[in-house]
Structure 1
Amino acid sequence: MTTDLPPALGGALTRYLDHLAVERGAARHTLDSYARDLRRYLHHLAEHGVWELAEVGERDVGAFLAALREGTPERPPLAASSAARALVAVRGLHRFALLEGITATDPAHRVKPPSLPLRLPKALPVNDVLRLLDVPGDDPRSLRSRALLELLYSTGARISEAVGLDLDDVDAAERTVRLAGKGGKQRLVPIGRPALAALDAYLVRARPTFAVRATPAVFVNPRGGRLSRQSAWQAVQRAAERAGLAGAVSPHTLRHSFATHLLEGGADVRVVQELLGHASVTTTQVYTLVTVNTLREVYATTHPRALG
């Protein structure tokens, strides 16, 4: 609803959301998120006497960002990541307004988002990964779960890449799998013998019971369709619970563990970058901080002069 906004602001919001939906093909959840953030922004402007986008200055955008971070009696402060997301929506609106001739300038262009705290990926110790991969079970679901877990840890695949895997993407002879990453970019990654053995056991003994209709998918649900990301995530959680692992364990935990264990074993960060399918090595370098922290802990607890 935009009827509770000043007409000029409400009209600009409607035009921008229509643009996102029709010309940009934005997904429903994206539109909802943008609409929510932008309504909050436009209400903030109206409450401070700004009734048209042409009247907005850089200070107005900055004041909104500060209000998000500080909170109000009615609204708690937003985390840096949520405030940054809102600023993305605000920038998009002002960029659109400039291109459409609604405004003569873009006041949000130079407003910087709040710096995000560096979050180190969670990686399981090697022994915990082995416990997870060794969860017993010989029924079809257990065989499928083991194959999925082995694949995730052996290749560092994202969960979407794993469930998107087709039969002809697995080359057992070359011990490689072809993964389709973000933006449809494909990469070949090696896969270990234990993962191949788990995949073979699943494909021979379990998949035929699921594949009630023809499908190229490696991982199949009981109805014969491709296994969903949610079902794969639940399979990882169930395995973690059965293995007695404390804390949240997700498919991404195995991807983090894959990268961390490679770097701890001496792998070059650029090799790990290629294996993970990161566009920039900067993204991969966060894992080097994990290994440095591990080294620091070992040093502090073992070196005679570490605490001197």
Structure 2
Amino acid sequence: MSGPDRGTRALHQALPPALRDAVDDFAEHLSRVRNRSAHTVRAYVTDLVSLLDHAVRMGCVDLAELDLSVLRSWLARQRTTGAARTSLARRAASARAFSAWAHRAGLLPSDVGAALASPRAHRELPSVLRADQAAALVEAPSRQSPPTNPAHADPAHTGPTRADGTRTGPASTAPAAGPTSGATTESEAVSLRDRVLLELLYATGVRISEACGLDVADVDHERRVIRVLGKGGRERSVPYGVPAQRALDDWLRRGRPELVGDHSGNALLLGARGGRLNPTTARQVVGAYAEAVGLPRTSPHGLRHSAATHLLEGGADLRAVQELLGHSSLASTQIYTHVSVERLRAAYRQAHPRA
């Protein structure tokens, strides 16, 4: 079993063989039959291993002995250790999914998880940037030198380094990003990459994993749309605007050729060493530029929230926003209507004399 953290792997190995096999078979079912992402499979497996470890501690040596009382006891223990309501809801969903699969596979005499209730997850309204804040963030790479990150400093290099470890030269001479004459330096190329990353995240509202998974062929320059492979292998086309198109043109013409290497393949966005841009690095880039321009702590998902909210505030149809974001359920998109209402209320309280 690969993917889960070291603690989960250790618990997995300590399970009785029959339970270990059930975990592995369920993971394969999620991946091959249900077409779940590696991240989703990892989360389900982590929850399941925790559940079965708890069941063994309660005296269950065979999967057929798993019953509703064990599931409830496991959730109660999670709650006493401080698990949030959202985490409890997700773990209950994992237990129900496993129980249903195990019953169909003949491993459980009944679907014991069907009667398992879970606390309603409290959905906090996502924080969003104002339109001017979002504009300042996406334009930051073309207006200033790349932000530095001491955690990624190279001891053999005296100058600052970028969030992804790219050297920018001595701090006093780091060139500003933007159009230049002559050859493109590595620092300028990464700045062009950062600009197109930020532009695409805000213009399209795609998830960071979807942005990093884009290939060059996924961009339709004539129609100004990108082909995105989302959760569950669902494919969708998402439009982008003129600023993103300009950033793409600059990146493909002057930036990507500078970073491309033997391991680049067809990846649209590249890391400093030429491989496909890693989502972790991309998150660091977003956070570093947000800090550099004085914004609150911002993540790629914050840009996704902002894009959805600004679309709805501009009059976009809720169903259209659902399609753009790749939500399987309209309920996932409706939270952004609440964000817009809250912002309207705040403006009303601030401006109306009888608020």
Coarse TM-score class (shorter-chain normalised): 0.7 to 0.9
Structure 1 partner of 2:168: none
2:82 to 73, 77, 80: 77
Supply the distance in 2 between the matched residues of 1:293 and 1:85 (Cα, whole angstroms).
27
Unaligned runs of 5+ in 2: 1-10, 33-37, 144-175, 178-187
Paired amino acid for 2:110: T
Query: Structure 2 vs 1, CA of residues 110 and 209 (structure 1 numbering), >3 Å: closer, same or farther?
Result: same
Supply the distance in 1 between the matched residues of 2:196 and 2:217 (Cα, whole angstroms).
16
Supply the distance in 2 between the matched residues of 1:220 and 1:3 (Cα, whole angstroms).
37
Query: Number of matched residues?
Result: 292
Supply the distance in 1 between the matched residues of 2:226 and 2:105 (Cα, whole angstroms).
46
2:51–2:74 CA contact under 8 A, matched in 1: no
Query: SS where residue 127 of structure 1 aligns?
Result: helix
Unaligned runs of 5+ in 1: none
Tell me whether 221-230 or 102-111 shows the greater mean CA deviation.
Answer: 102-111
Return the offset for 1:281: 1.4
2:96–2:114 CA contact under 8 A, matched in 1: yes
CA RMSD, 1 decimal: 2.7
Within 5 Å, which residues of 2 pair with 1:1-308?
10=16, 12-21=18-27, 29-30=42-43, 31-43=45-57, 45-46=58-59, 57-69=67-79, 71=80, 76-95=81-100, 98-99=103-104, 101=106, 103-135=108-140, 136=143, 137-138=176-177, 139-213=188-262, 215-247=265-297, 249-306=298-355
Deviations 1:203-231 (A, max 9, x none): 11111110134632211123322111122
TM-score normalised according to structure 2 size: 0.73
Supply the distance in 1 between the matched residues of 2:13 and 2:229 (Cα, whole angstroms).
44
Paired amino acid for 1:16: A
1:37–1:89 CA contact under 8 A, matched in 2: no
Supply the distance in 2 between the matched residues of 1:185 and 1:22 (Cα, whole angstroms).
19
Query: Structure 2 vs 1, CA of residues 57 and 35 (structure 1 numbering), >3 Å: closer, same or farther?
Result: closer
Return the offset for 1:59: 4.4
Supply the distance in 1 between the matched residues of 2:293 and 2:315 (Cα, whole angstroms).
28
1:180–1:187 CA contact under 8 A, matched in 2: yes
Return the offset for 1:4: 7.9
Query: Structure 2 vs 1, CA of residues 105 and 142 (structure 1 numbering), >3 Å: closer, same or farther?
Result: same
Return the offset for 1:126: 1.1
Paired amino acid for 1:115: R
Query: SS where residue 284 of structure 2 aligns?
Result: helix
Query: SS where residue 268 of structure 2 aligns?
Result: coil
Supply the distance in 1 between the matched residues of 2:285 and 2:13 (Cα, whole angstroms).
46
Query: SS where residue 115 of structure 2 aligns?
Result: coil
Query: SS where residue 134 of structure 1 aligns?
Result: helix
Tell me whether 295-304 or 85-94 shows the greater mean CA deviation.
Answer: 85-94
Paired amino acid for 1:189: V
TM-score normalised according to structure 1 size: 0.83
Query: SS where residue 228 of structure 2 aligns?
Result: strand
Return the offset for 1:264: 1.0
Supply the distance in 1 between the matched residues of 2:108 and 2:304 (Cα, whole angstroms).
45
Deviations 1:11-56 (A, max 9, x none): 652342242355655868453442123212442x33xxx7766566
1:179–1:186 CA contact under 8 A, matched in 2: yes
Return the offset for 1:173: 2.2
Supply the distance in 2 between the matched residues of 1:201 and 1:108 (Cα, whole angstroms).
53
Supply the distance in 2 between the matched residues of 1:212 and 1:64 (Cα, whole angstroms).
49
Supply the distance in 2 between the matched residues of 1:215 and 1:102 (Cα, whole angstroms).
43
